[in-house]
Structure 1
Amino acid sequence: MNEVHSLNAADNQWQFSKIPNIEESNFNKILERFYSLGVAGLTRENIQNSLDGRLTELDEPVVVKIQLGKVNRQAIPGMGSIVQRINSLEGRNGYTKETISHMKASMMSEEVRYISFEDSNTRGLTGAKYGQSNSKEHTWGIYAYNKGVHFEEKDESFEASRGGSHGVGKIASNAASDVHMMFFANCDAEGEQHLGGTIQLIEHKLGDHYYRSTGYFAKLEGSKFMPFENQYDKIFEKTTRGLKIVIPFLRDSFYREDEVIRSVCDSFFVSIMEKKLVVHVNDLVIDADSIDAIVTDSQYYVQEIEAMKKVFTPLYVKTYKNQQPRLIEIPHANTVFQFNLYFNYDERIPKGRVGIIRTIGMKIEDFTVKNNATKPFNAVLIGGIDEDSYLKSLENESHTKISSDDLKDPALTKLAKKFISNLNKEIVKVIDEEMRSHNPVDGKINTSDLLYTMELDFKENLSQSFGTVKIKNGKNIVTSDEDNKAETTPAKVKRKKRENDGAGKPKESGIRRKGKARDKGEDESAAEDQKDEYKINPYRVERLLLHDQEFIQLNLTGSPEVAKAKKCNLKFNIIDGMGKEYIGEFNMKENYSDIIDKNTSNPCVIESDVIKNVSIKNGIVHLQLALKPKYNRSLKFIYYVEV
């Protein structure tokens, strides 16, 4: 322990600016945000930086080599002074005390984990030999010594395509280290090689002076920071033009090769497929030729489409590779944004998502289309330079979501909300079109035999929106909060199906009020028709389709007179996208091979228009239905209970 505390001039390679007193006792909050993103956020940030630094005059992909390994602590520059700094830290609250304690334990390990990101076919940083020059032309000074500053390209189209904009991404590397330390090795166009670094501590006192929280691996010449020439351990070596990030004391939870591989594919599959990017992760090469094999390998991704509910990369790769793009247009202010939408419809997909991609080939987010999260589709959305520039303005600081949340100008916020709303609407049009195309209605519906008279006014629509369930005999099941005891007027719905019998007279509907007297001579089967019929609000229906099975659960507890019944019959009527109901058009026997009552585990009796003798247990009906091959999975139903 004593030798690391005994400092000489050579040990003092980390510079902290002096301050008059300690005013901030917390660690930088951005550290915690990037730490929560895990190794995926770290990988994403550093590859994005490499793509931003690509050589536009070179028609070659950016190459990023990611290495995970271990190194002796003595190979890390300036550890003596860092140990002394960390030992001087004082926590003022539970979080900082815990963090400091963890840093102290981590810094004493003799062998430490590290990860490095080395890029090629990139520009690297310019002006390193000038150090802290404050010149916009010297990107070394901006990257090395300025927090919250994003270097902007003179070429506006190139700047629009770049991933970075918030100027906080560099700290993602600090967040990945147990001691918040990172280094960057640079080789510029002249072949000059330098090494810099940063460490994020808290404001602290050392000796008789107070210091800022951020330390820089640099020499102090006068009042200016200057970089060291790179003559350090091999893991810091960078001999070809470009930049190399090295993160020692890598957190254990980040030391995951398979997660690094997945994060590369998740965020940059378009760049890789378009041959703009090649990534090496230790000995594995991820390029246009190998990405298919990686995303179809169960070592890295779940392969059952039905189970892809959180990670969609295998679907995105397939969609982007196999589907032709269609143009969608989004009006915005005085212009119209145009995007290419690659769209794939597949009944096996449980969660519909749109991968929104920047032109550099980086995915921003798995976009959820409003009210269509469970539709069976997968899509990839890519715009041009103008579209890219606008999406960039909507990104959060970790480049994982578009929203209006970070915009301060109310007018811009309003425009952003409208853009996202219009984007939803245009994608919904495509979803609906594809669903109609893949799921035509079975047979031809003769609408001449259907008569509907709808009498709706504002009050009645309002009552429906509060969940009123219409019962044929005029009673209601109120599905809003049980404390709401007020009577709600049901919507007036008159419906009638004309079916001519032999005498040319319309048949009765077969729905009779409970307690209605039978005509003399009616047999016992007719007695079964003497039931009250209840139309069940969709609010009380849970429906799940899985492979060749369907599960339906009806909650009837809102009506004591229904819930107290022991058994019931069920009827389904088809309903179309306009809310029009088609009575008697759905044949149970043609669509279900068998039906199990989950309350009793017994099979149910299936007739062409009804499921009979279904049990009601604690007000709940629960069925498992085996689907026949001809079953149309896109049909929507209105459910009726007879008791």
Structure 2
Amino acid sequence: MNHQQQAKNKLWKFSPIPNIEESNFNKILERFYDMGVEGLTRENTQNAMDGRLLDFNGPVILTIKTGSIKKSDIPGIDEIIDRIICLEGRNSYTKETIKHMRNKINQEEVRYISFEDYNTRGLTGARNGQSGSLSDTWGIYAYNKGVHFEESDSAVETSRGGSHGVGKIASNAASDINLMYFANCDEHGDKHLGGTVQLIEHVFEDHCYRSTGYFTDIEYLDDNKSKFYPYVNKFHRVFEKSTRGLKIIIPFLRDEFDSEEDIIKSICDSFFVSILQGKLEVNVNDEKITRDTLEQYVKNSRYYNQDITEAKKEFTPLYVDTYLSETPQDLIVSDGLKDYHFHLYFRYDEEIPKGRVAIVRTIGMKVEDFKVTGNVNKPFNAVIIGNAEEDAYLKSLENESHTKLSSEHIKDPLLKKHAKRFINNLSKEIAKIIEEAIKKNNPTDGLMNTKDILYVVETQFKKDLSDTLGTVMVSNGRPVVKASTNVPKKKKQERKKNEKEQDPPKKKRDPLKRQKRQDTENGTEIEEQRREKYSAHPDMVERIILGNKEVLRFDLAKSEQITNETSCDISLSIIDGMGVEYPNEFKINDNYSNVVDLNSGIAYNISDNVIKDVRITQGVAELQLELKDSYNKSLKFVYYVEV
């Protein structure tokens, strides 16, 4: 029997190659594996919605089932096992992966997950097999990697979720042996079964083969060419698809993907808008997620933490409330060439700890939890949805896994430039709305002239602070002068009738007092020759936060001790409302991305948690600090000046 006849008799087909050149598994497998259940359900749900019936106004219905199946009932599994046994790893990663595969193939009963859609078109042209025609979606889905079918109707194509052609491999990544099947029933009622397995290039029965195997029949043509044709579906009921549409079956389901709770959450996280709009219904085993039941899952503590103050990583309950309760407002974002118009559902709530924006495509799929630059810790929540034109642009900005807007994958320099500008402007426009909401919810009494005053500390806080803090703090942190909180203040003495008998007025104390140290060798006091460190009285420091920037102004002219200094070092420590200091708790580099001179823009160096060589001009030092997302704007500080 020749090689072609041997291949014809096998259910799985691997293309022969002259030599092994690639010894690694497909890198996209690892990417989708890292995305977990969310990546798996997202890709297959998106595929179902992309395949919706165009003349049908009802919802796409997706049924997700998990269960167990005998290994012997999996079509062609013995051939896959034989291939896995022959795999040879050439680095630590492939060796470990192959070992894991070999451990899993010894099971007699394996777990599986299936995704079956209804009210969908299914794949077309299965009878034509590997035709190469763009209208035969079976051939594209079954046999082409990195290619996705494009709708002839541009409006329909724009609304589709897929665009990169890599999502099909998400199903392989969910299997311990990178195995998946797809059952199809088309408009003619034809039922076929296909499948793929992702291995590595390998030697089998003295021949070298490519890494990808196809569950398919083959016809050999003249000139040493061949063509794939699908099998008519007469296999186990788990692989059956009797109504029009597509069914994905993934045997050897990984343990970490086998969680009904996580599957339900991932559906709610990515498709809450589709479900609320009545475009999608999902059945997960016996659980039904529809527009009437979605809130039952989102507001269930089994799935989501219901404490709004703890919404720091999961935002779906907030998104659903925002989308259902807020009236959308118009948001215009430019990429530098044209304006894009969005509907923004915006909610301001002081209890919300982290501000995020759900960017949603018109298909109803959330792209990402967008972080507005400089506003990630602001108390808001928002959902943004565009129209068809905006949807097309967002689609062009999505990364391969449809989980983030990015310009990194865009090759054209001009398009890349405008994509970056759009993403930056998206942050800026939403930031304006956030700032407006903050002002509206935190009104000030009267007008404040901020020309010379950068930041005003509450009078009582400054009074308490000055009573509690020492005037001088030496380098080792030992206080020299400190107000005692245990000594009651003296009552004011009655004014003496004779002005001559009054005590002479006390000289105003310098807010920065130079410190002398004790010489430990001879016990005599000497003038400290090295730099001295002083705590700054609150009256000397003015502070304001504007967006993602903080401005500090030190009026050092109030101190007679450093009138001739032209530079200084500045450091800071956190204090609480009682004036208790927490030295070394606050790290400058962890909270500020850069520190510059406000007037010249010259960047200052930061060493040992100290801002070095800050310029003093006419007794004033002014700094501008750019905040990182992790910065807590509610912190209070005591500042130190070292000269």
Q: Please indicate the TM-score interval, normalised by the length of the shorter structure.
A: 0.7 to 0.9
Find the aligned partners of 2:327 and 2:102 in 1 and give their Cα distance.
Answer: 55
Letter in 1 for 2:186: D
Partner residue of 1:117?
Answer: 115
Aligned residue among 332, 338, 356 for 2:359 = 356
Find the aligned partners of 2:95 and 2:241 in 1 and give their Cα distance.
Answer: 37
CA contact (8 A) 1:11 1:80 kept: no
Shift of 1:384: 0.8
Partner residue of 1:20?
Answer: 18
Shift of 1:198: 0.2
Find the aligned partners of 1:42 and 1:88 in 2 and give their Cα distance.
Answer: 28
Aligned residue among 11, 28, 31 for 1:30 = 28
Per-residue CA shift, 1:222-259, capped at 9, x if unaligned? Answer: 21111111111111111111000000000011001100
Aligned residue among 249, 264, 269 for 1:266 = 269
Shift of 1:531: 5.0
Partner residue of 2:253?
Answer: 250
Find the aligned partners of 2:279 and 2:381 in 1 and give their Cα distance.
Answer: 23
Superposition pairs of residues 397-408 of structure 1, within 5 angstroms: 397-408=400-411
Find the aligned partners of 2:204 and 2:196 in 1 and give their Cα distance.
Answer: 18
Find the aligned partners of 1:530 and 1:291 in 2 and give their Cα distance.
Answer: 66
Partner residue of 2:50?
Answer: 52
Find the aligned partners of 2:123 and 2:44 in 1 and give their Cα distance.
Answer: 14
CA contact (8 A) 1:533 1:642 kept: no
1:17/1:288 Cα in 2 relative to 1: closer, same or farther (>3 Å)? same
Letter in 1 for 2:31: R
Find the aligned partners of 1:45 and 1:642 in 2 and give their Cα distance.
Answer: 55
CA contact (8 A) 2:512 2:534 kept: no
Superposition pairs of residues 386-465 of structure 1, within 5 angstroms: 386-441=389-444, 443-445=445-447, 452=452
CA contact (8 A) 1:182 1:247 kept: yes
Shift of 1:153: 0.5
Find the aligned partners of 1:378 and 1:394 in 2 and give their Cα distance.
Answer: 22
Partner residue of 2:622?
Answer: none
Superposition pairs of residues 517-528 of structure 1, within 5 angstroms: 521=503
Find the aligned partners of 2:92 and 2:532 in 1 and give their Cα distance.
Answer: 54
1:95/1:636 Cα in 2 relative to 1: closer, same or farther (>3 Å)? closer
1:573/1:283 Cα in 2 relative to 1: closer, same or farther (>3 Å)? same
State the TM-score, normalizing by the size of structure 1: 0.73
Letter in 1 for 2:63: K
1:166/1:576 Cα in 2 relative to 1: closer, same or farther (>3 Å)? closer
1:636/1:302 Cα in 2 relative to 1: closer, same or farther (>3 Å)? closer
For the residue of structure 1 that corresponds to 2:401, the secondary structure is: coil
CA contact (8 A) 1:574 1:637 kept: no
Shift of 1:165: 0.6
1:79 matches 2:68? no
Superposition pairs of residues 170-249 of structure 1, within 5 angstroms: 170-222=168-220, 223-249=226-252
CA contact (8 A) 2:276 2:294 kept: yes
- Structure 1 gap ranges (5+): 1-6, 455-474, 479-518, 535-558, 583-597, 605-613, 622-633
Partner residue of 1:588?
Answer: none
CA contact (8 A) 1:127 1:138 kept: yes
CA contact (8 A) 2:541 2:552 kept: no
Letter in 1 for 2:122: G
Find the aligned partners of 2:385 and 2:89 in 1 and give their Cα distance.
Answer: 47
Partner residue of 1:288?
Answer: 291
1:315/1:522 Cα in 2 relative to 1: closer, same or farther (>3 Å)? farther
- Structure 2 gap ranges (5+): 221-225, 455-471, 476-500, 514-530, 554-572, 587-631
Shift of 1:209: 1.1
Find the aligned partners of 2:451 and 2:35 in 1 and give their Cα distance.
Answer: 57
Aligned residue among 79, 86, 89 for 2:87 = 89
Find the aligned partners of 1:33 and 1:123 in 2 and give their Cα distance.
Answer: 29
Partner residue of 2:469?
Answer: none
Aligned residue among 297, 303, 310 for 1:300 = 303
Find the aligned partners of 1:377 and 1:96 in 2 and give their Cα distance.
Answer: 45
Shift of 1:208: 2.1
Shift of 1:562: 2.9
Find the aligned partners of 1:421 and 1:446 in 2 and give their Cα distance.
Answer: 31
State the TM-score, normalizing by the size of structure 2: 0.73
1:439/1:19 Cα in 2 relative to 1: closer, same or farther (>3 Å)? same
1:337/1:562 Cα in 2 relative to 1: closer, same or farther (>3 Å)? same
Partner residue of 1:562?
Answer: 534
Find the aligned partners of 1:292 and 1:104 in 2 and give their Cα distance.
Answer: 43
For the residue of structure 2 that corresponds to 1:303, the secondary structure is: coil
CA contact (8 A) 1:163 1:360 kept: yes
- Identity value in percent: 53
Partner residue of 1:129?
Answer: 127
For the residue of structure 2 that corresponds to 1:60, the secondary structure is: coil
Shift of 1:9: 8.9
CA RMSD of aligned residues (A): 3.5
Shift of 1:274: 0.2
For the residue of structure 1 that corresponds to 2:16, the secondary structure is: strand
Per-residue CA shift, 1:27-80, capped at 9, x if unaligned? Answer: 101100110000110000000000100112101100000001111111100011
Find the aligned partners of 1:149 and 1:618 in 2 and give their Cα distance.
Answer: 58
CA contact (8 A) 2:474 2:533 kept: no
Find the aligned partners of 2:276 and 2:439 in 1 and give their Cα distance.
Answer: 31
Per-residue CA shift, 1:237-286, capped at 9, x if unaligned? Answer: 11111000000000011001100000000000000000000000110000
Letter in 2 for 1:178: D
1:339/1:94 Cα in 2 relative to 1: closer, same or farther (>3 Å)? same
Per-residue CA shift, 1:467-486, capped at 9, x if unaligned? Answer: xxxxxxxx9999xxxxxxxx
Find the aligned partners of 1:105 and 1:642 in 2 and give their Cα distance.
Answer: 62
Find the aligned partners of 1:369 and 1:100 in 2 and give their Cα distance.
Answer: 43
For the residue of structure 2 that corresponds to 1:294, the secondary structure is: helix
Aligned residue among 532, 535, 547 for 2:511 = 532
Instruction: Count how many residue pairs are aligned between Structure 1 and Structure 2.
Output: 510
Letter in 1 for 2:127: K
1:310 matches 2:292? no
Find the aligned partners of 1:341 and 1:23 in 2 and give their Cα distance.
Answer: 51
CA contact (8 A) 2:575 2:581 kept: no
Shift of 1:108: 1.5
Shift of 1:452: 3.3
Find the aligned partners of 1:227 and 1:21 in 2 and give their Cα distance.
Answer: 28
Find the aligned partners of 2:413 and 2:8 in 1 and give their Cα distance.
Answer: 54
Find the aligned partners of 1:329 and 1:600 in 2 and give their Cα distance.
Answer: 42
CA contact (8 A) 1:532 1:642 kept: no
Find the aligned partners of 1:453 and 1:440 in 2 and give their Cα distance.
Answer: 19
Find the aligned partners of 1:368 and 1:618 in 2 and give their Cα distance.
Answer: 31
Superposition pairs of residues 132-147 of structure 1, within 5 angstroms: 132-147=130-145
Letter in 1 for 2:452: Y
For the residue of structure 2 that corresponds to 1:202, the secondary structure is: coil
Find the aligned partners of 1:125 and 1:249 in 2 and give their Cα distance.
Answer: 25
Shift of 1:191: 1.0
